[in-house]
Amino acid sequence: MTLDEMAAALEISRRQVADGRKAKRIPGNVAYATRYLVEAAHKNDSRSKTMIA
């Protein structure tokens, strides 16, 4: 995901995402939200590939 896509998905500013990348410790709520978004994206990719095949 790009910074803009991540910011939109998490409903936070692009700057907050960029600052989070620089920080040594990622806040727990951001880490959980990011994991959820990544897993959801993988599930959607798997489903779309299955539907095409």
Q: pLDDT of 1-47, one tens digit each?
A: 788 988 898 889 999 988 888 877 777 888 898 899 889 888 877 76
Q: Is the pTM of this model over 0.95?
A: no
Tally of domains in the chain: 1
Domain coverage including residue 45: 3-52
The Cα 12–Cα 6 span in angstroms is 8
CB 6: neighbour CB atoms within 10 A?
20
Q: Which pLDDT score, from 0 to 100, does residue 51 have?
A: 53
Secondary structure class of 14 (helix, strand, coil): helix
Which pLDDT value is given to residue 26? Answer: 75
